[in-house]
Amino acid sequence: MQKFTQHKGLVAPMDRENVDTDAIIPKQFLKSIRKTGFGQNLFDEWRYLDAGYPGQDPTSRQPNPEFVLNQPRFQGASILLARKNFGCGSSREHAPWALDQFGFRAIIAPSYADIFFNNSFKNGLLPIVLSDAQVAQLFNEAAAFPGYSLTVDLERQVIVKPDGSELPFEVQAFRKYCLVNGLDDIGLTLKHADKIKAFEAERLATKPWLALTMLA
């Protein structure tokens, strides 16, 4: 998992409440057995005017010029500004995969659906919670200033605005530790690889018949 310490990026404002996971990555793209390749279909039904299907050539699609991520001023955005209850709906881990693979590193919103919130941390995507008033102000500034960028400093737990002012945010200590060190669940387990190997060796030494069970 990619480490997250500090990130400066262009902000894309998505002025919609209750954005669900089927909108983030529609159901027809969940058939893949791989964990990659979802970014090109992020918000597929909103980004394109034609119907999307797996394996489709993105260059053959009809982009929706009204959708925020298709507008030239927001090309290359890596911080998504959203409204309340972002990521609601079904509990698909593909949603943070798609956001991350599209290029987003952080999301700022007043609230999130619990499962999406947890899945984001586990996949290197930082969901930041700010108040409704703070988010509304960021929407106003993103609309008023082309090229509006923010710096997210996870180690200090602040968002730095272009004028130098800062917005503090809360993040649970364990989640912060995992993001700063780039550790997903597998990475956390592998930190104890020596202890796991020692335990397995000791167990087989005292119960050698388990070796046959493990090979079966």
Crossing angle for the helix pair 173-181 and 114-122, to the nearest 10 degrees: 40
Residue 64: is its pLDDT beyond 80? yes
C-alpha–C-alpha distance, residues 192 and 56, integer Å: 42
75, 175: one domain: yes
Q: Transcribe 19-65 into DSSP letters.
A: -BHHHHS-GGGTT-SSS---GGGTTHHHHBSSPP-TT--GGGS-B-T
In the chain, how many domains are there?
2
- Strand stretches in the chain, DSSP E: 6-13, 79-81, 106-109, 126-129, 149-153, 158-160, 166-168
53, 145: one domain: yes
**Tens-digit pLDDT profile for residues 159-210:** 999 999 999 999 999 999 999 999 877 766 666 667 777 777 677 778 777 6
Range of the domain at 209: 184-216
40, 144: one domain: yes
96, 166: one domain: yes
119, 211: one domain: no
Q: Are 178 and 188 a contacting pair, CB within 8 Å?
A: yes
Q: Is residue 1 situated within a structural domain?
A: no
Q: Give the angle subtended at the CA of 158 by the CAs of 162 and 10, to the nearest 5°.
A: 40
**Tens-digit pLDDT profile for residues 108-153:** 999 999 999 999 999 999 999 999 999 999 999 999 999 999 999 9
Tell me the pTM: 0.88
101, 168: one domain: yes
173, 195: one domain: no
136, 89: one domain: yes
pLDDT of residue 212: 65
